[in-house]
Amino acid sequence: MPESLIGLEETAPSGPRTRLNTALTFESLVEGTANRMARAAAMHVATMPGQLYNPLFIYGGVGLGKTHLVHAVGNKLLAERPDAKVLYIHAEQFVSDVVKAYQRKTFDEFKERYHSLDLLLIDDVQFFANKERTQEEFFNAFEALLAKKSHIVMTSDTYPKGLSDIHERLVSRFDAGLTVAIEPPELEMRVAILISKARNEGTEMPEEVAFFVAKNVRSNVRELEGALRKILAYSRFNQKEISIQLARDALRDLLSIQNRQISVENIQKTVADYYKIKVADMYSKKRPASIARPRQIAMYLAKELTQKSLPEIGELFGGRDHTTVLHAVRKITAERLQLTELNQQLHVLEQTLKG
C-alpha cells in the first residue's frame, strides 16, 4: 500500500471531493528539529496560499510524516476557506486518471477537474518516472495552476534533482519554489511521538519506556507506531503494566535483528567502502579532509544506529576522547540539515546498514 494511504482506512476522510483525511492536522503532528522547517513552510502555505513557496516540495524517506503534512495543509486551508477547491491525490491515482482520460477521450473533463483547483496536494511524484503522457499532463496542470495563483504541494522520496526518468522541464518547475527535507526524528521527538500516540490509544506510556523504545527504533515514525502497537497488544494480552521489561519482551525479534545487523565495526567498513578509504583510516591519527570527514560520518552513524556511549565509540575509533565523538555528531547533525548532498549520502548509508 502506498505511504499516503497508510492509516486512511482508520479514520473517516472528509469525502470524495477532497480525499483529505481530517485526522491529519497540524495539531496532531508532533513537531521537532527533524520536521520544523517543513512544518513552518507548510503552515505558511495553508494560511497564505498562492504566494510564497509555490510549489512546496517536501522530500524524505518512507514513514517520516510527509503525507501527514500535506493533509494538514489541506485541512487548515479548508477550515479557513470552506469554499476552496482542494484535492489530495497520490501520484499513482493521477497516472490512473490520465490513462482513463486517454482511453475515454475525456481530457476536457480531466483538465476541468485539475486545472480549476485552488490547492493541489500530490504524494510521491517519483511515480511519474518513465510515464511520458502523465508527465506532459502534469506539466500542463502545473502551469495552469501557477498561472491562476493556485498552490501546489508535492512530496517525494528524494529531492527534485535526484528524481530519475522525469523531464528536466518538470524537475526545474519542482525546484522553482521551496524544497524542504523531513529527516528521521531525533531521540526527543521519537519519545514525544510515542507518548502522544499511546495517549491517543487511551494508554499512558511511562517516559522511561518511551526512551527505551525510541533508542531502539530510530528510522521512522511508522516503525515507531508498529513498535507501539506490539507493546500495547503484548500488555493487553498478558494483562501486565507497560514497563521496560515488557517492551523488551514485546520487541524481542526487532531488537535481536538490530543487534545482529548493526555494529560500529560494520559501520566503519560500510563508510570506508562508500568513501573509498581504508578501514584502518577510521582508527588512525591521519587528519586530511578525505579521511577526517568519513570518520566523522562514521562516528555520527555509530551514535545514531547503535547503543554505544560516546566514550565506547571513541575507544573503537582508535582511542579517541568522547568529546571528539560529540563534536563529530553535532557537526554532521547540523550539516545534514543544510547540505542536500550530505543528507542523500547519509540516507544511502543508513539504508545500506539497515539492510
pLDDT score, position 8 = 34
CATH number of the domain to which 283 belongs: 1.10.1750.10
pLDDT tens-digit map of 251-305: 988 776 555 567 898 899 899 988 989 888 898 887 888 899 999 999 999 998 8
Q: Which of 242, 260, 278 is the last residue of a domain?
A: 260
Q: Give 56's DSSP letter.
A: E
**How far is Cα 102 from Cα 137, in angstroms, rounded to an integer?**
11
**Containing domain of residue 348, as a range?**
262-354
Could you tell me the three cell numbers for 58?
Answer: 517536501
Residues 278 and 173 in one domain: no
pLDDT score, position 260 = 55
Residues 284 and 175 in one domain: no
pLDDT score, position 223 = 86
Residues 280 and 341 in one domain: yes
H-state helical runs in the chain: 36-47, 66-80, 91-104, 107-115, 132-147, 168-174, 187-200, 207-216, 221-238, 244-250, 252-261, 264-275, 289-305, 310-316, 322-338, 340-354
pLDDT score, position 172 = 92
CATH number of the domain to which 238 belongs: 1.10.8.60
Residues 15 and 101 in one domain: yes
Report the chain's terminal Cα–Cα distance, integer Å. Answer: 21
pLDDT score, position 159 = 85
Residues 23 and 160 in one domain: yes
pLDDT tens-digit map of 115-143: 999 999 999 999 999 999 999 999 999 99
Domain count, the chain: 3
Residue ranges of the chain whose pLDDT lies below 50: 1-15
pLDDT score, position 210 = 93
pLDDT score, position 317 = 93
Residues 236 and 274 in one domain: no
**How far is Cα 97 from Cα 95, in angstroms, rounded to an integer?**
5
Residues 235 and 113 in one domain: no
pLDDT score, position 259 = 57
Per-residue burial over 63-91, b = 16 or more CB atoms within 10 Å of its CB, e = otherwise: bbbbbbbbbbbbbbbbeeeeebebbbbbb
